[in-house]
C-alpha cells in the first residue's frame, strides 16, 4: 500500500498559534483561565485543554457575569457585543482570533460605514460568520446557495461588498459570485478565503484524482474538514471521513491501492499519525 500525505494536512498557522499559546498560558498561570466557546473545532484538543484546566464559557448568562478574569478568544472570533462586555467587565483578554478572521471584521466595519450592503458567503450558523456579521453597521446578508440569493433585499444599483467565510468551498463561492455579478452593477469583492484553506482545497483535488482511496481526517464539527471531504468525494468515490483512530478499524481498503491523506486545519499531527499507524497495521 502506498500512502501519500498532503503537505498541507493538519494545523494551519492560526490554529497552531492559538493552541500553542493556550497550552503555554495554562501551564504558566496560577489563576483560572477561561475561553469563550471551544478554542478550535477539534474535540480531542479541546478535551485535553479542559482536562488541563481551561474553562469553556458557552452561555450569554455566564459571559456577562465573568469579571476580572483571564479570557481567551477562540480562533473563530466572537461577536463584537460579547467582546465589548468582556472588556467592560475588566477581563484580561487574550485574543487568539485567526488573523484572517480579524481582517474580515475590519473590512466589514469599514465598508458598512461607507454605506455598502454586505454579503457574506458562508454558513450563517458557524461561529466565525456570527462574529463577522456582528461588525456590520449597515445591512448584512449571509448566503450559502442560489436560493439564498433570491431572498436578498438589495437594489440593483446599491453598493455591494462581498466577502467569504475563511473556510468556504472556493468552487461554490465562485459560482455564487458569478450570479451576484449578473444581478448587481456596483459590486466590490475581497477574497477572504484563507491561504491555508485554499492550498488545502487545491491539494485535495490533486490527491483525490490520483489516488484509489482518500482519507480525510478531522472533527465532524470542523467546517474546513467537511469541505475537504466534499471536494475529495467528487474526485475519488472511495473517500472516508475519519474523526478518530478507532474509525480506521472500520475501513475496508485493498492493500495494493494508493491512499491519499488530507486533514483539516484543526487536526493535530498526533491524530494523523495514530490513524495512519492503524491503517498500516490493519492492511
Res 283: pLDDT: 65
Question: Which position among 61, 79, 128, 146 bears the catalytic label?
Answer: 128
Burial class (CB in 10 A: 0-12, 13-18, 19+), 196: buried
Q: Kindly state the cell numbers that stand for 108.
A: 466589514
Domain boundary among 78, 97, 116: 97
Range of the domain at 55: 13-97
Domain boundary among 154, 174, 189: 189
Q: CATH number for the domain including 126? A: 3.40.1010.20
pLDDT tens sequence across 189-198: 999 999 888 9
Question: Which residues does 278 contact at the CB level (< 8 Å), separation at least 6?
Answer: 245, 248, 249
Q: Is pLDDT of 247 > 90?
A: no
- Assess whether 128 carries a catalytic annotation: yes
Q: Helices in 32-79 by DSSP H: which ranges?
A: 43-51, 60-64
Q: Is pLDDT of 282 > 90?
A: no
Q: Are 106 and 184 found together in one domain?
A: yes
pLDDT tens sequence across 20-77: 999 999 999 989 999 999 999 999 999 999 999 999 999 999 999 999 999 999 999 9
Share of the chain above pLDDT 70, in %: 99
pLDDT tens sequence across 82-105: 999 999 999 999 999 999 999 999
Reduced to 3 states, what is the DSSP secondary structure of residue 111?
A: helix
Amino acid at each position: 500500500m502506498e500512502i501519500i500525505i498532503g503537505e498541507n494536512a493538519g494545523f494551519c498557522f492560526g490554529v497552531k498559534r492559538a493552541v500553542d499559546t493556550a497550552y503555554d498560558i495554562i501551564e504558566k498561570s496560577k489563576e483560572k483561565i477561561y475561553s469563550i466557546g471551544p478554542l478550535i473545532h477539534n474535540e480531542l484538543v479541546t478535551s485535553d485543554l479542559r482536562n488541563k484546566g481551561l474553562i469553556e464559557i458557552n452561555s450569554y448568562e455566564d459571559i456577562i457575569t465573568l469579571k476580572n478574569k483571564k479570557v481567551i478568544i477562540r480562533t473563530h472570533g466572537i461577536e463584537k457585543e460579547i467582546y465589548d462586555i468582556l472588556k467592560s467587565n475588566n477581563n484580561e483578554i487574550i485574543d487568539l482570533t485567526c488573523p484572517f478572521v480579524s481582517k474580515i471584521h475590519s473590512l466589514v466595519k469599514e465598508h458598512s460605514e461607507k454605506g455598502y450592503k454586505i454579503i457574506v458567503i458562508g454558513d450563517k450558523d458557524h461561529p466565525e460568520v456570527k462574529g463577522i456579521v456582528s461588525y456590520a453597521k449597515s445591512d448584512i446578508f449571509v448566503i450559502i446557495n442560489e436560493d439564498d440569493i433570491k431572498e436578498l433585499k438589495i437594489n440593483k444599483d446599491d453598493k455591494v461588498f462581498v466577502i467569504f467565510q475563511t473556510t468556504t468551498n472556493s468552487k461554490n463561492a465562485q459560482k455564487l459570485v458569478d450570479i451576484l455579478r449578473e444581478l448587481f452593477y456596483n459590486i466590490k469583492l475581497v477574497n477572504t478565503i484563507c491561504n491555508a484553506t485554499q492550498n488545502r482545497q487545491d491539494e485535495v483535488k490533486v490527491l483525490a484524482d490520483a489516488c484509489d482511496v482518500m482519507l480525510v481526517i478531522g472533527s465532524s464539527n470542523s467546517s474546513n474538514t467537511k469541505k475537504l471531504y466534499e471536494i475529495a468525494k467528487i474526485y475519488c468515490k472511495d473517500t472516508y471521513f475519519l474523526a478518530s483512530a478507532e474509525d480506521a478499524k472500520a475501513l475496508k481498503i485493498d492493500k495494493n491501492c494508493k491512499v491519499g491523506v488530507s486533514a483539516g486545519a484543526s487536526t493535530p499531527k498526533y491524530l494523523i499519525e495514530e490513524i495512519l499507524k492503524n491503517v498500516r497495521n490493519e492492511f
